[in-house]
Amino acid sequence: MNNIYLALGSNIEPRDDYLSKALESLNTHRQITVLRKSSIYKTAPVGYTDQDDFLNMVIELDTSLLPLELLDVCQSIEKQLGRRRGVRFGPRTVDLDILIYNQENRETEQLTIPHPRMLERAFVLIPLSELASELTVATAHKMVSDYIEELPESDIKDVTLWTEKGSAEE
């Protein structure tokens, strides 16, 4: 079994529907099995901040696809769900990022594994820790929980558990 974690995010309504459709597309692919998924978190945008808040989550999956093949599937799903690549860190219907693929360290023009900015992002580390807090990230040989402890408190506070539409929190 491969040990693969993907981050999913959306900040264009209906955000939760885009996440659900992306999950469904992954799970119906004949070479992919979604094993577990984190809770969904609401987070403020990073980088380009003049946009709506994101919904983010992390999933664990198994696949027979190689990393670049998985990237192609992820980008195809993004395109199918209306993703437009314009403003860097800008609004998106859905974003699928490969975080970890079997503890591989890989850097190509198309793909870097582990994801190059995952260790700086509370909106990735917090949902990932739900699934694998003791997972050691190959680049620095520290656990996910260790990286969370190193984040600024303000970053951690910006990541809140999201509940279904119509709730008091939303």
Catalytic residue among 15, 92, 121, 155: 92
Report residue 110: phi and psi, to 5°: -90, -25
Distance CA(15)–CA(40), nearest Å, equals 11
Catalytic residue among 15, 83, 121, 158: 83
Catalytic residue among 95, 121, 155, 158: 95
Any catalytic annotation for residue 15?
A: no
Judge contact between 101 and 70, C-beta under 8 A: yes
Any catalytic annotation for residue 88?
A: no
Any catalytic annotation for residue 83?
A: yes
Distance CA(127)–CA(57), nearest Å, equals 6
Any catalytic annotation for residue 92?
A: yes
Catalytic residue among 16, 17, 72, 97: 97
Beta bridge partners of 43: 54, 159
List active site positions: 83, 92, 95, 97
